Structure 1
Amino acid sequence: MENKIEIIAIDHGWSNIKTVNTVFTTAVNRIANEPGIFDNVLQYEGNYYSVGGKRLEVKDTKVTDDSFYLLTLAAIAKELKIKGKNHADIFLSVGLPLTRFGAEKEDFIKYLSRKREVTFKFEKQTYRVNIVKVSVFPQCYAAVADRMFEYDRKHIVVDIGSWTMDLMTIKDMKPELSECDTRPMGLITCMHAINKECVAKFNCEIDESELEYIMKTGVCNMEEKYAKVVEDEMRRFANKVFNTLREFNININITPITFVGGGATVMKTYGENTGKNISYIEDIKANAKGFEYLAKAFILSKAKQRGEK
C-alpha cells in the first residue's frame, strides 16, 4: 500500500505556505460568486476561495478557523499537479514549532484529518484525495534531519520563520530537548518594526511583499531614505537574535551555529557575526523537504518491521 501513497509535505507558515516544490502566500478569502478567472481559485463544498494576496493575521493557533485547512487543500493540489495526478492516497507530513509541538500536535492532526476522503477543485481541476495519514514533526529539527549525522559535537540550529524563532541544541547527533526554545520573534515582528519606523518618519508603510523580497534575496533597491530604515531595522533584528543566543550562554564566536528558515538570509546579510562557526541553510522550503524526508523514513521503518524489502 505504501508504494502507492503520495507524501505531501507542507510547512504552514504565517507568511507563506511551503511545499517541497512550491511557495505561496498564507492567504485565503471567500469569493461571493463564481469568478471570471480561476487562477489560484479553490472550490470546496459549494464555495469559491481566492488563494493568495494579503497574508492572514497571526492567531494563537492554526486550528482556530478553516483557513489553514483550505490552504492545505490548495497545497495538495499544487503538488499533485506537479506530479501529474488528480487522484491519490495521501500521507500529509507537516510541522509545528519545537516547544509547542507536544501541546498542539493532536489538535493539528485532528484538524487536518477531519475528512479522510476529500473532493475539491483547484483552478477548475477536480481533485479526489484520500488522506490515509497525518504526521506532525518538529520544525527546525526537520530542516536538518537529513544532515543530523554531521553534528557530532555541540551544534545550535536556529530556525527563524515568519512568526517564531526555534532554537535547538544538538549534542552527539541528537536534539537536547531540555535546551530547546521557541520565541515569538520571527520575521513578521521585524516587518512591524520597519513599518512602525516608516510611519513615524514618513507617514507611510512599505508593502510586506517588498520586505519579504529583501529578506529572501538581501537586495534592497528602494529610495535611500527607505532603504536606510529597512537595513537599520534588519540589523537590529539580527542583533536581537544574537543577543537571545547569548542569553542561553551560547558563545556566538565559537559554538557552531546554523541559521535556517526565511530568516537565514537576513542573518547572513545583516548579522554582524559571520565567523567560520556560523553557517546558513537559505532554502525557505527546508522544513517542508525535511517533513518529506521524515515521512519517507517513517514508511521505510514500517516496511522493515513487516519484513518488506
Structure 2
Amino acid sequence: MGDTDYYILTLAAVARELLIRGLSSASVYLAVGLPLTWVSEQKDSFKAYLLQRKAADFSFRGKDYHVTFAGAAVFPQGFSAVADRLREFRGVNMLCDIGNGTMNVMYINNGKPIPSKCYTEKFGTHQCMIAVREKLMQRFGVAVDDTVIEDVLRYGKADIGKQYLDAIRETAAEYVAGIMRRLREHEYTPELMKLHVMGGGSCLIRNFAEYDPSRVTINSDICATAKGYELPARRSLGGTV
C-alpha cells in the first residue's frame, strides 16, 4: 500500500473481467485477500486503499473503462480456498499456500483452523525467479527470458540447452528445499499429518520435491483462493454480483 502499483494492477484485473463480459462500464464489488497473519491488522487499511476512489476512468490495452466501486471484502489467503470443505480435513493437516510474494501456513485439525498456528513467510515464487536469474548470470553470463524460466518451474522442462535446463532445475530444487525446511520449522512431520499445497508455487513442489502422494495433496488450480473469495462475497450480497 506504499505506492499505487497494486491499485493499478487491480484496475487492470477489473478491466480484464469486464472485457470477458463484453462490458466497458460497471459497478464493481472487490473480493480480495491478504496473507493469513496480516488480515487482522491490515484488513481495514487495505480496504481503504482499494476504495480510495469512488470511481475510476482509465484505459487498458486501448479500451476505455468507467468503474464505480460498490465496496470490498478482504479474506485470508489460502484458507479461503478450503473454508467451505473443512469437514474433509480429518486429523492433523497443514495448509501451505505458496504465492508470488509470500507463503502462508495454517494448521487445520479435525476440521477446525488453529489461529495460534498460522504463519506467513516472505518466501514466494518471486524469490525463486530471482535466484534462477542470478544463477544463470553467475554461471553462464546470460539473461534468460522469464517465460523460459516459468516453463521450467511450471512443467519441469523447456526447449533449451541441457546446461541451462539443469541450472534452472538445480536452483528450483534448492528453493523447494527451503520451503520444506521452513515447514519443518513450523513442526511439519509427514508421518503425523497431511500436507495440502496450493497457489502458484504448488507446481514447484510437484516438480522438484520428493514426497509421498498419499500424505501430500497438491491443488494445481491457481484460481482456488480467488474462487474462495468470490463465493462468500456473492453470498453476502445476496448473489447479485
Determine if the TM-score, normalized by the shorter chain, exceeds 0.5.
yes
1:162 pairs, out of 84, 92, 100, with 100
Q: Deviations over 1:87-128 (max 9, x none)?
A: 322110011111122222222111110111223333343322
1:211 pairs, out of 138, 149, 152, with 149
SS in structure 1 opposite 2:123? coil
More helix by share: 2
Hey, what's the Cα distance between the residues in 2 that align with 1:255 and 1:82? 41
What value does the CA root-mean-square deviation take over the aligned residues?
1.9
- List alignment gaps of at least 5 residues for structure 1: 1-62, 302-309
1:191 pairs, out of 108, 124, 129, with 129
Hey, what's the Cα distance between the residues in 1 that align with 2:62 and 2:182? 47
Identity across the alignment (%): 31
- 1:172-183, aligned counterparts within 5 Å? 172-183=110-121
- The answer to whether the 8 A contact 2:152-2:158 is kept is yes
- The answer to whether the 8 A contact 1:161-1:261 is kept is yes
**Aligned equivalent of 1:72:** 10
1:98 pairs, out of 13, 17, 36, with 36
1:284 pairs, out of 211, 219, 222, with 222
Hey, what's the Cα distance between the residues in 2 that align with 1:238 and 1:179? 22
**Aligned equivalent of 2:202:** 264
- List alignment gaps of at least 5 residues for structure 2: none
More deviation in 77-86 or 180-189? 77-86
**Aligned equivalent of 1:304:** none
Question: 1:97 is aligned with what amino acid?
Answer: P
Hey, what's the Cα distance between the residues in 2 that align with 1:69 and 1:244? 31
Hey, what's the Cα distance between the residues in 2 that align with 1:135 and 1:141? 15
Hey, what's the Cα distance between the residues in 2 that align with 1:232 and 1:123? 37
- 1:2-151, aligned counterparts within 5 Å? 63-151=1-89
- The answer to whether the 8 A contact 2:101-2:122 is kept is yes
Question: 2:199 is aligned with what amino acid?
Answer: G
Q: Does 1:225 align with 2:172?
A: no
- The answer to whether the 8 A contact 2:157-2:165 is kept is no
Dislocated runs of 4+, deviation >4 Å: none
Q: Deviations over 1:34-72 (max 9, x none)?
A: xxxxxxxxxxxxxxxxxxxxxxxxxxxxx1122221221
- 1:231-270, aligned counterparts within 5 Å? 231-270=169-208
Hey, what's the Cα distance between the residues in 2 that align with 1:120 and 1:192? 32
- The answer to whether the 8 A contact 2:95-2:106 is kept is yes
Hey, what's the Cα distance between the residues in 1 that align with 2:135 and 2:9? 32
Hey, what's the Cα distance between the residues in 2 that align with 1:103 and 1:144? 22
Question: 1:104 is aligned with what amino acid?
Answer: Q
Once the two structures are TM-superposed, the CA of residue 254 in structure 1 deviates from its matched residue by: 4.1
- The answer to whether the 8 A contact 1:245-1:252 is kept is no
Question: 2:12 is aligned with what amino acid?
Answer: A
Q: Deviations over 1:164-194 (max 9, x none)?
A: 1111111232321110101111111112222
Once the two structures are TM-superposed, the CA of residue 279 in structure 1 deviates from its matched residue by: 0.8
1:295 pairs, out of 222, 233, 238, with 233
- The answer to whether the 8 A contact 2:148-2:158 is kept is no
Hey, what's the Cα distance between the residues in 2 that align with 1:276 and 1:154? 14
Question: 1:147 is aligned with what amino acid?
Answer: R
Hey, what's the Cα distance between the residues in 1 that align with 2:82 and 2:203? 16
Hey, what's the Cα distance between the residues in 1 that align with 2:141 and 2:55? 50
Hey, what's the Cα distance between the residues in 2 that align with 1:212 and 1:289? 23
Once the two structures are TM-superposed, the CA of residue 76 in structure 1 deviates from its matched residue by: 0.8
Question: 1:285 is aligned with what amino acid?
Answer: C
SS in structure 2 opposite 1:73? helix
Once the two structures are TM-superposed, the CA of residue 258 in structure 1 deviates from its matched residue by: 0.9
User: Cα gap change, 1:196/1:123 in structure 2, threshold over 3 Å: closer, same or farther?
Assistant: closer
- The answer to whether the 8 A contact 2:80-2:228 is kept is yes
- The answer to whether the 8 A contact 1:140-1:166 is kept is yes
Once the two structures are TM-superposed, the CA of residue 154 in structure 1 deviates from its matched residue by: 1.9
Aligned residues between the structures: 239
Question: 2:105 is aligned with what amino acid?
Answer: L
